Amino acid sequence: MSDVAERVKKIVVEHLGVEEAKVTENASFIDDLGADSLDTVELVMAFEEEFGCEIPDDAAEKILTVKDAIDFIEANG
């Protein structure tokens, strides 16, 4: 697992209060991890903070799974 993936998963565990085992790469924030629309905004903010990048709103809307987040950050981070 890449460094980015590990850090993304750590943020997801902390912010959504879910067990680490559930945070698989294909897990959907809303469907599998119990996030609501406000949680996803906060998650994106946390990713921006952690990786020092900016995630524009149109890109953020497409980040629906753990893998989406990792891919975006690896491509843009």
Distance CA 3, CA 8 (A): 9
Residue 71 is a catalytic residue: no
Q: Site size for another protein, by CB under 8 A? A: 11
Residues 6+ apart with CB under 8 A from 5: 25, 66, 70
Q: Is the CB of 31 or the CB of 36 nearer to another protein?
A: 36
- Stretch (H or E) spanning 69: helix 66-76
Could you tell me the smallest distance in angstroms from the CB atom of residue 23 to another protein? 14
71 binds another protein (CB under 8 A): no
**Binding footprint of another protein on the chain (CB under 8 A):** 14-17, 38-39, 41-42, 45, 48, 54
